[in-house]
Amino acid sequence: MTTPARKSVPGARLLTPAEKSLLARLEELRIVPPANLLQALYSDDKEEHAKAVQDLRRSLDTATALRARLEALRVVLPVDPASAVPELNNIVTRAEKEFGDTSVVSLEGRYMLIYHEARRVNAAVTAKKMSELLATCENALGHEAYLTRRCSMVRAQFTRKAGDPNGIQLYEDELALRKNSDGPDAWRTRLARMNLAVALRESGEYNNLNRADQIAEKELAERSVEYGPEHPRTIVAMANKALILLSLVEAGSKTADAEKALELASEVVRVRQTVLGPLHDSTLSGQMIRAQALIALKRCDEAVWLLYGVLADQAAAGAKDPGRAEELLARALAGTELRSDLEEARQFASEATQLRTRQYGPDTAQVRRAQELEASIITQLAAAQDRDVVRVLDHTSGPRSEAI
């Protein structure tokens, strides 16, 4: 918003510093007053001018209050969505009605809604909605605005999750932009580089995995020195490093170390349990990395018990990545090679496929991986039947599933 030139309004008055500041704050929020209100603001008529100032202040107060409520809802939304979502929708509706759909309040509210709804729709839908919001933010706020950059990163995240091969390139583009605007060692550049490592890991390609491992190793070392070994940013880098090591193990790398991955994952869980509590999404994610390492080390029984616990905790707290725990549990059960475990493994693999399809869409890497696992377990079951091998669990402990 540009303040109209004095000569554009007949008899225009000069604004006081406070009135200029009021217009500047509205401009920051991308709230454009109607033309008649601006005309009244510059009017020589004292009453008309005073009323215009009062209306503009009321708009600023309303926008400020709505933004403060949005900040409060960021905390409430994950733990009490039933009450937070309707209020969030009301805020967005009111902001769009009073300030337009390109005001900062409107855009922030829409971002929060899309990000929250991502758990209930497949990744392709979220990627599309975030792409549309990103275009609006770029036009309204500019390429360097914080919300624009958040939309860009989340779009890349869900494009990758949807199995779109352009996902990696979006992260490459974001990293290049951050290097040019912020410098190679700035925090936002390092964050973009770590996000790229995640995308490279999830591609599963051996060359990409090696590149991801180099990025993760460097980032973990730097964060450990800069922030300390138990800082949340260090712990995130530690978790990423463990996952990349496990991906390399699964890809047949001779140098990747599953024991090291288990050590890193155990430290992630220890810190997160202390700081965040045992039911937090991040803690449960760390537990699943531990289970994945145990499976890689052929310690499948331990992984089974751990994953039953994760599923029980997710039943109470909700799953951030639906189907992941079920898929890992199917792998762990299949790894024991007990006939009864294979039957249960097939059930969990089928459930993982359904959950993954609902979350990410039918033709995605996550769904294909779950489908391949289910097919592999069915083949194992057929082979067991052909050999007529029937193995039973120790009657003194009973079936594992009854202990949870």
- pLDDT tens-digit profile of 203-223? 888 899 999 999 999 999 999
- 331/319 Cα distance (integer angstroms): 19
Residue 325 φ then ψ, to 5°:
-65, -40
Per-residue model confidence (pLDDT) at position 295: 95
- 352/330 Cα distance (integer angstroms): 9
Distance linking the first and last C-alpha atoms of the chain = 60
Q: What percent of the chain has pLDDT over 70?
A: 92
- Which region among 85-94, 278-287, 384-393 has the lowest average model confidence (pLDDT)? 384-393
Is residue 340 over pLDDT 90? no
The token pair that represents 107 in the structure block: 């855009």
Q: What is the mean pLDDT of residues 352-376?
A: 87
Q: What is the mean pLDDT of residues 73-98?
A: 92
Q: How many helices (H) and strands (E) does the chain have?
A: 17, 0
Q: pLDDT digits over 370-395, tens only?
A: 999 999 999 988 887 776 544 444 44
Residue 403 banded pLDDT, cuts 50, 70, 90:
very low
The token pair that represents 233 in the structure block: 């940013």
Per-residue model confidence (pLDDT) at position 12: 66
- The answer to whether the beta carbons of residues 194 and 219 sit under 8 Å apart is yes
Per-residue model confidence (pLDDT) at position 283: 93
Per-residue model confidence (pLDDT) at position 388: 54
- The answer to whether the beta carbons of residues 305 and 393 sit under 8 Å apart is no
Is residue 118 over pLDDT 90? no
